[in-house]
Structure 1
Amino acid sequence: MDIFPKCSVCKQQFTLKGPVPYLLPCLHAVCETCLTSAAGGVISCSTCQREVNFTDTRLQKDAVRQKQIFHLTVKHRPSELLCTNNDDGNQAVCWCQECEDFLCEYCQNMHSSVKLTRKHVLQNFSDMEPTVSNIPTLCSIHKCHPIYLFDKSCKKLLCGRCRIEDHADHHVETIDSIADTITKYLDDHKNALSKLQARQQSHMESIKQGSESTDRTHYTLKESIGHTFQALRSQLDQREKELLVDLESHTTGTKEALHERLTTCAEDWKTSTGVLDYIAKVLLYASKSDILDLESCVGKMTQICLDTGIPQTHDVPTAIYNTSSLSKLKSCISGFGTILTCEMDGESVKDKDTQTYDFIADLEMKHKMDITELKTKIDADEKHIESLKLLTDQLNAEIKSLKSRIDEKENVEKRAAKTMDFLLDLANEYGVHLLNPGAVDTSMLLKCIHLKYDKDSVNLDKVHINTEGDLVNRKSDTRPAGEGRLKKYWGTCSTAPHPRAGCPQYWEMKSRVNLDKPLTGNVLILELGVCRGVQRDVSHCINGEPSTWCMQVAQCTTHGGICRKTWKEGKHVLCLPDTLPNTAGASHTLHYGVVYDDARKKIVFIDVKENKVMSTLDNVDSSQPVWPMFGVYMPLSGTVSMTLVVGSDINMTEEKKAMIVKALSSWWQ
C-alpha cells in the first residue's frame, strides 16, 4: 500500500519487521540495508537529489517513522501481527503499551489475570490511535531509574542518579521543560512554513494567470497581424492593377500618335512620288515650248512638297518606372509590426488592447500616406511591370509554402498528441519507459511488468513465503492443502506466464544471502529464469532441462569461489566468478534484472549493482508461453531471501536503459 513510507534510495516500503529507517539531514528516510551497503559511504536521496556522506554525518534512527509504520501496520495490515509469545504464533488482537508486546486472545486473558500486569491498559487494534506514550524510559546505565532530565552541556538524556554522579556541575533541565521549548520552536517553524506555502501558492497562481494572459495576447496579436498584412496585400494588388491600367493607357496613346504621323508622312511621300514621276515624263516627252508652258505648274507642286517639313530625326517618348521611394518603403516594411513588451502600470487588459490597435492604426495610416506618395511618382514601363509580376508570383509561392509548412506542423502536433495519448494509456497499465526517444513503435517501449509469486504453487517442503512477501530457503511450519503445489522444484513460479507483448519486458530480483559456513562442491544458492510450463517441476532446478533459460548463483569448483552461471536449454553458457566471499559470516545483497523480449527472441540478465549486462541469450523460442521461475537453496549452510521488484517500484535510470538498448542493439543496427 502506498500509504506506507518508503526508503528514499531503494524505494522499498518500510515494514514493522523489516530494515530500520534512518533519518537523513533532508528529513527523508533511508533503510538500514541501503545504509550498510552504500558504496564509499555516500548516499544519494532520490527524492531531493542531495548526497549525504554518513562517514562524516552520524545518522539517527527515525523514531517518528517507526511509530508511523507501527500504527499503519496495526490499522491496515493487522493480519501480519503475531503474538509476541513466539511459542504459540497466534494472530495478535491487542497491544500492551507498558510491556510493548502484541497479545493474542489467550495471552490477553492471561495478561489481565496476572497480578503483575492486570492493571496494564490493553489497546485493541480497532481502537488504537497515535498517542504520545507517558511511560518513562529507563536509563541504559542505571536500569531501574527513569530518564527525566536533559544535560544541555553534553546534549544527553539523564536519570536522577546520572545527574548526581557524573553531571553534577552541568546545566541540566527537565525533559518536559526542554520539550515544551522545542515544541514552541516547531510551532513557529510550522507557522512560518505555512505562510511561505501560502505565498508560494499565490505566486504560482499569479504565474498561471500571466501564462493565460500571454495566451490571450498571442491570439489577439496573431489576428491583428493577419488582418494588417492582408490589408497591405490587398492594397499592393490594387496598386498593381492601377499601374497596369496606366501603362496600357500610356502605350495606346503613344502608338495612336505615331500611327497618325506615319499616315501623314505616307501621304506626303505619295504626293512627292507623283510630282517626281511627272517631271521625269516632261523631260522625256515634252518639247521646249511645252516645257515653258509647264514650268509654272510643276514649280508650284514642287514647292508644296518641299514646304512639308520633315525632321532629320524623330524622338519617340519613352516611359519610365519611377522607384524613387521604393527603398524607403522597403525599409518601413522591414521594421513594421515589431512585437514590443509594454510596462503599463495601473492599466487594464482592455486599455492595453486599445493601445495595441491604435498603434497598428497609426502604422496603417503612415503606410497609406507612403503608398499615396508612391502613386504620384510611379510611371512604369513594360520591363518593370514584368519584374513586379515576378515579385508577386514569388510572394504567392512563399505564402503557399508557408501555409504548407503550417499544415505540416499541425499534422505533426496531432500525431504527437496521439502518440502521447498512446503512451499515457500504456503507462496507466504498466510502468512504461521509452528506449528510443522520438519513436512511436511499441517495440521501442520497455514495460516494467507486475510479476507476483504464485503462493499456491510454492514447494512448502523446501521453501516458504514470509509475512514480508519474500521467498525464503526454509520449509514452512504449516502445510496448507493444495494439489497444485510444486513437489520437486525448490521455489515457485509466477502467477501467470510472460505476456506476449511484442516489446521488451523487465523485472528485478533483490536477494539477501547470509553464509553460516563456507560452501563446498557445486552448491546452489539461488536461481531465476524462464521455462515452458511442462518444465516447471521436472527437477529441483531448471538449468539442465530443455526449453529453459536461466541464471544461477552457486559455488563453483572450477574457479574455487561463488560464481554467476548462465544456462540455455540445458547447456552451460557463461561463468562469472567473484560474486561474493565464500566465508563464514559473509552477508551480501544481490540485485539482478531480467529482460524478456518475445519479438526479438532475447533474454538479458543484468547485474543492477554493478551496472552491467552479465549475459544475453539469443534465439529464445517464444512460440509457446514461458513462466518466470524463482528458486532458493542451501538451507543447511545459510539463509537466502528473494524479493521481487516490479512495476513502478523499479528505479529505471538512464544507465539501465542504455544497458538494455546495448544488449538488444543488434535489432536496431
Structure 2
Amino acid sequence: MDIFPMCSVCQQQFDLKGPAPYLLPCLHAVCETCVTSATGGVISCSTCQTEVNLTDTRLKKDAVRQKEIFHLTAKHRPTELLCTNEDDGNQAVCWCQDCEELLCEYCQNMHCSLKLTRKHVLQNLSDFKPAVSNIPTPCSIHSPDSLYLFDRRCNILICGRCRFEDHADHEVEKLDVVAESILKQLDQHKTELATLQARQQSNIQNIRRGTEITDTTHNTLKENIGHTFRVLRSQLDQREKELLTDLEGQTKATKASLRTQLNTCEGASKKCSYVIDYVTKVLTYASQSDLLELESSVREATRAFLDTAETQTQDIPAAVFNTNGLSKLKSNISRFGAVVTKDMEKQYARDKETQTEHDFIAEMEIKYKNSIDENENIVKRASETTHFLLGLLNECDVHLLKPDALDKSMVLKCIHLKYDTDNINLKGTHINTEGDLINSKSETRSAGKRGKTIYEGTCSTIPYPLADCPQYWETETRVGLDKTLTWNILILEVGVCAERERDMAFYVDRRPHPYSLIVHYCTTHKGICRVTMKEGKDVLHLPDTIPNTAGTSHTLHYGVVYDDARKKIVFIDVKEKKVISTLDNVDCSQPLWPMFRVYNPHVLNVSMRLVVGIDINMTEEKKAMIVKALS
C-alpha cells in the first residue's frame, strides 16, 4: 500500500519487521540496508537529491517513522501484529498504552483481571490511534532510575544519580520543561512553514493562472497578428491593383496618342507618294512642250505639299516603376510589430497612422542636442521639454499643441481616466459590460456593495495628477428621449471637485468648489440647455442643445481641459467644434477629481462613454481651440 513510507534511496516500503528507518539531515528516511551498503560512504536522497557523507554524519534511527509504521500496520495490516506479552504466537487484538505492549485476547483478559494492570488504558486495533508515550526510559547506568533530566552541555538525558555524580556542575533542566519548550518551537516552525507553503500555493496558482493567461494571450495575439498582416496584405493587393490600373490607363492613353500620330503621318506619306509618282511619270513620259505646260502645276503642288507643316512626333519615354522609398518600406516592415509585455509596452510609441508627436520629439531631441548656435536658454528649455515629453510617453498619450513649442505648457496629456466602479451609487446608475455609465439600476447589483450614498453618479479612480501642463479627456453620451421633457429635468453632468466634496450633495454644482457642465431642461428657455458652473454659480447658459422631441436620440460629445499651471478648466463641444466655456482662477491647491452623472431613467435613456488616451481624435483644429482657450 502506498500509504506506508518508503526509503528515499531504494524506494522500498518500510514494514514493521523489515530494516529500520534512519533519519537523513533533509528529514527523509533511508532504510538500514541502504545505510550499511552505501557506496563510498555516501548516500544520495532521490527525493530531494541531497548527498550525505556518512563519514561526517552519524545517522539516527527515525523513532517517529517507526511509530508511524507501527500505527499504519495496526490500522491496515493488523494480522501481522502478534502478542508481545507472551511468546505464544497469538494474533494481537489490542494495545496497552501504559505497558506499550500488544496483547492477544487471552492476555487482554488477564491484563484486566490483575490488580496491578486493571486500570491500564487498552485500545482495540480496529480503532487504534497514535498516542504519545509517557513511560519513562530507564537509565542505562543506574537502572531502574528513569531519565527525566536533560543536560544541555552534554546534550543527553540523565537520571537523578547521574546529575549528582558526573553532571554536578552542568546546566540541567527537567525533561518535561525542555520538551514543552521544543514543542512550542516546533509549533512555531510549523506555523512559519504553513505560512510559507500558503504563499507557495498562492504562487503556484498565480503561475498556473499565468500559464492560462499566456495561452489566452498567445491565441489573441496570434489572431491579432494574423489580422494585422491580412490587412497589410489586403492593402498591398489593393495598391498593386491601383498601380496596375494606372499602368493600363497610361498605356491606353499613350497608345491612343501614338495611333493618332500614326494615322496623320500615314496620310501625309500617302499624299507625298501621289506627288512623287506623278513627278516620276512626268519625268518619264513628258515631252519638252509638256514639261513647259506641267512645270507650274507640279511646282505649285510640290510647294503646297512642302509648305504644309510636317507632322511632329513626340518621343515617348520608356515607363518605369518608381520604387523610391522601397528600401525604407522594407526596413520599416522588418522592424514593424513587436510582441512585448505590458511593462515594456510603454517603451514603444503607438502607431496612430498620422503625423505623430513621437517623431517630432525625436527630431526635436536630435535638433537641440546638435545645436550650438542657438541661444543657451532656448536650448536648455527645449532639452527640458524633450525630457519631459519622453517621460510622459511612458505613462500616457501626449500631443504638442504647437509644433514649435519649446516649453511644457504647450504639451497636452491625454490621461487614462477610468470610472471608479467601487464608488458608484447603484441606486439609479450602473456601469454596463461595455464600460459605459448608464442611468438605470444594474440587474446584477452586488449584495452589500458600498459606493456613493448621496451623489448619484461616480468619479474617476484617481484625481488629476499635478502635471504643470494641460490634461485632457472626453465623454461621448448617447441620449434618447422617451418623452418630451418638462420642468427641470437633468440629463447629464460632467465636472470636477475636491476629494472631500465627492459625496456631499446630489449634484457637483451644489458643493463649495465645483466646476461642472450640466445638460438639462430649462424652464426659462423652454428647451434643453447647457450650463457651465463655477463654485455653485452659473457662468454660461446656452439654449437649444438638442431638440426636445419625444422618441429622438442624440449624441453629445464634450471635452474637458484641466491646466493646473494656468489654473483653468475648459469645456469643449467636440461635435460642434467650439469652446463652450473657460473657467479661470480654478482652485488647484488640492487634488481635483473628475465626476460623472446621468439622470432620470423614467423619461431618458442615457449612456456616457469615457474617451481617453489613444482613443481621442486629436485634430489640429481641436488643438487650435485648446490653445486659444488657454491663452
Q: TM-score, normalised by structure 2?
A: 0.53
Q: What is the CA distance between 1:164 and its match in structure 2?
A: 1.3
> Which amino acid in structure 2 is aligned with residue 203 of structure 1?
N
Change (3 A) 1:140 1:304: same
State how 1:21-36 maps to structure 2 within 5 Å.
21-36=21-36
Per-residue displacement from partner, 1:614-664 (whole Å, max 9, x unpaired)?
Answer: xxxxxxxxxxxxxxxxxxxxxxxxxxxxxxxxxxxxxxxxxxxxxxxxxxx
Alpha-carbon distance between aligned partners in 2 of 1:137 and 1:209, rounded to the nearest angstrom: 53
Alpha-carbon distance between aligned partners in 2 of 1:237 and 1:365, rounded to the nearest angstrom: 24
Alpha-carbon distance between aligned partners in 1 of 2:284 and 2:13, rounded to the nearest angstrom: 138
State how 1:353-502 maps to structure 2 within 5 Å.
359=350, 362-363=352-353
Q: What is the CA distance between 1:365 and its match in structure 2?
A: 9.1
Alpha-carbon distance between aligned partners in 2 of 1:280 and 1:363, rounded to the nearest angstrom: 74
State how 1:209-358 maps to structure 2 within 5 Å.
209-310=209-310, 315-343=315-343
Change (3 A) 1:184 1:263: same
Alpha-carbon distance between aligned partners in 2 of 1:4 and 1:326, rounded to the nearest angstrom: 73
Change (3 A) 1:287 1:105: closer
Change (3 A) 1:238 1:365: farther
Cα pair 1:93 1:102 within 8 Å, conserved? yes
Alpha-carbon distance between aligned partners in 1 of 2:309 and 2:286, rounded to the nearest angstrom: 31
Change (3 A) 1:256 1:124: closer
RMSD (Å) for aligned C-alpha atoms: 2.7
Tell whether 2:11 aligns with 1:11: yes
> Which amino acid in structure 1 is aligned with residue 223 of structure 2?
E
Alpha-carbon distance between aligned partners in 1 of 2:182 and 2:341, rounded to the nearest angstrom: 51
Change (3 A) 1:363 1:220: farther
State how 1:53-64 maps to structure 2 within 5 Å.
53-64=53-64
Alpha-carbon distance between aligned partners in 2 of 1:270 and 1:139, rounded to the nearest angstrom: 143
Alpha-carbon distance between aligned partners in 1 of 2:284 and 2:99, rounded to the nearest angstrom: 164
Alpha-carbon distance between aligned partners in 1 of 2:142 and 2:211, rounded to the nearest angstrom: 66
Tell whether 2:175 aligns with 1:183: no
Alpha-carbon distance between aligned partners in 2 of 1:214 and 1:109, rounded to the nearest angstrom: 68
Alpha-carbon distance between aligned partners in 2 of 1:252 and 1:34, rounded to the nearest angstrom: 95
Alpha-carbon distance between aligned partners in 2 of 1:274 and 1:129, rounded to the nearest angstrom: 134
Alpha-carbon distance between aligned partners in 2 of 1:356 and 1:149, rounded to the nearest angstrom: 69
Per-residue displacement from partner, 1:104-140 (whole Å, max 9, x unpaired)?
Answer: 2222233344555445443322343211222211111
Alpha-carbon distance between aligned partners in 1 of 2:182 and 2:159, rounded to the nearest angstrom: 20
Alpha-carbon distance between aligned partners in 1 of 2:348 and 2:58, rounded to the nearest angstrom: 66
- The alignment of Structure 1 onto Structure 2 pairs a total of residues equal to 356
> Which amino acid in structure 2 is aligned with residue 72 of structure 1?
L
Q: What is the CA distance between 1:321 and its match in structure 2?
A: 1.6
Q: What is the CA distance between 1:149 and its match in structure 2?
A: 0.5
**Which residue is equivalent to 2:551?**
none
Change (3 A) 1:86 1:284: same
Q: What is the CA distance between 1:311 and its match in structure 2?
A: 7.7
**Which residue is equivalent to 1:132?**
132
Alpha-carbon distance between aligned partners in 2 of 1:290 and 1:259, rounded to the nearest angstrom: 41
State how 1:587-602 maps to structure 2 within 5 Å.
none
Cα pair 2:265 2:311 within 8 Å, conserved? no
**Which residue is equivalent to 1:158?**
158
> Which amino acid in structure 2 is aligned with residue 177 of structure 1?
V
Q: What is the CA distance between 1:181 and its match in structure 2?
A: 1.2
Alpha-carbon distance between aligned partners in 2 of 1:332 and 1:150, rounded to the nearest angstrom: 79
Alpha-carbon distance between aligned partners in 1 of 2:109 and 2:264, rounded to the nearest angstrom: 143
Cα pair 2:9 2:30 within 8 Å, conserved? yes
Change (3 A) 1:269 1:134: closer
Alpha-carbon distance between aligned partners in 2 of 1:83 and 1:151, rounded to the nearest angstrom: 37
Task: Please identify, of 292-301 and 279-288, the stretch whose mean Cα deviation from structure 2 is larger.
Answer: 279-288
> Which amino acid in structure 1 is aligned with residue 199 of structure 2?
R
- Secondary structure at the aligned position of 1:123 is classed as strand
Change (3 A) 1:300 1:102: same
| 5+ long unaligned stretches in structure 1 | 345-351, 367-669
Q: What is the CA distance between 1:167 and its match in structure 2?
A: 1.0
Alpha-carbon distance between aligned partners in 2 of 1:154 and 1:47, rounded to the nearest angstrom: 33
Cα pair 1:268 1:308 within 8 Å, conserved? no
Task: Please identify, of 242-251 and 80-89, the stretch whose mean Cα deviation from structure 2 is larger.
Answer: 80-89
Tell whether 2:82 aligns with 1:71: no
Task: Please identify, of 173-182 and 88-97, the stretch whose mean Cα deviation from structure 2 is larger.
Answer: 88-97
Change (3 A) 1:212 1:357: farther
Q: What is the CA distance between 1:54 and its match in structure 2?
A: 1.6
Per-residue displacement from partner, 1:589-623 (whole Å, max 9, x unpaired)?
Answer: xxxxxxxxxxxxxxxxxxxxxxxxxxxxxxxxxxx
Tell whether 2:164 aligns with 1:167: no
> Which amino acid in structure 2 is aligned with residue 94 of structure 1?
C
> Which amino acid in structure 2 is aligned with residue 75 of structure 1?
K
Per-residue displacement from partner, 1:379-407 (whole Å, max 9, x unpaired)?
Answer: xxxxxxxxxxxxxxxxxxxxxxxxxxxxx
**Which residue is equivalent to 1:52?**
52
Alpha-carbon distance between aligned partners in 1 of 2:254 and 2:15, rounded to the nearest angstrom: 104
| 5+ long unaligned stretches in structure 2 | 357-631
> Which amino acid in structure 2 is aligned with residue 187 of structure 1?
D
**Which residue is equivalent to 1:82?**
82
Alpha-carbon distance between aligned partners in 2 of 1:184 and 1:90, rounded to the nearest angstrom: 42
Task: Please identify, of 231-240 and 47-56, the stretch whose mean Cα deviation from structure 2 is larger.
Answer: 231-240
Tell whether 2:146 aligns with 1:146: yes
Alpha-carbon distance between aligned partners in 1 of 2:87 and 2:46, rounded to the nearest angstrom: 41
Cα pair 2:95 2:122 within 8 Å, conserved? yes
Alpha-carbon distance between aligned partners in 2 of 1:311 and 1:207, rounded to the nearest angstrom: 84
Change (3 A) 1:83 1:215: same
Change (3 A) 1:297 1:156: same
Tell whether 2:196 aligns with 1:196: yes
> Which amino acid in structure 2 is aligned with residue 60 of structure 1?
K
Q: What is the CA distance between 1:153 and its match in structure 2?
A: 0.9
Cα pair 1:23 1:30 within 8 Å, conserved? yes
Alpha-carbon distance between aligned partners in 2 of 1:182 and 1:357, rounded to the nearest angstrom: 58
Change (3 A) 1:179 1:217: same
> Which amino acid in structure 2 is aligned with residue 242 of structure 1?
E
Alpha-carbon distance between aligned partners in 2 of 1:192 and 1:357, rounded to the nearest angstrom: 43
> Which amino acid in structure 2 is aligned with residue 51 of structure 1?
E
Q: Could you tell me the percent identity over the aligned residues?
A: 66
> Which amino acid in structure 1 is aligned with residue 201 of structure 2?
Q
Change (3 A) 1:155 1:227: same
> Which amino acid in structure 2 is aligned with residue 201 of structure 1?
Q
Change (3 A) 1:365 1:312: closer
> Which amino acid in structure 2 is aligned with residue 84 of structure 1?
T
> Which amino acid in structure 2 is aligned with residue 7 of structure 1?
C
Alpha-carbon distance between aligned partners in 2 of 1:19 and 1:200, rounded to the nearest angstrom: 35
Change (3 A) 1:12 1:300: same
Cα pair 1:90 1:104 within 8 Å, conserved? yes
Q: What is the CA distance between 1:299 and its match in structure 2?
A: 0.7
Q: What is the CA distance between 1:226 and its match in structure 2?
A: 1.6
> Which amino acid in structure 1 is aligned with residue 273 of structure 2?
T
**Which residue is equivalent to 1:208?**
208
Alpha-carbon distance between aligned partners in 2 of 1:75 and 1:244, rounded to the nearest angstrom: 88
Cα pair 2:264 2:311 within 8 Å, conserved? no
> Which amino acid in structure 2 is aligned with residue 321 of structure 1?
F
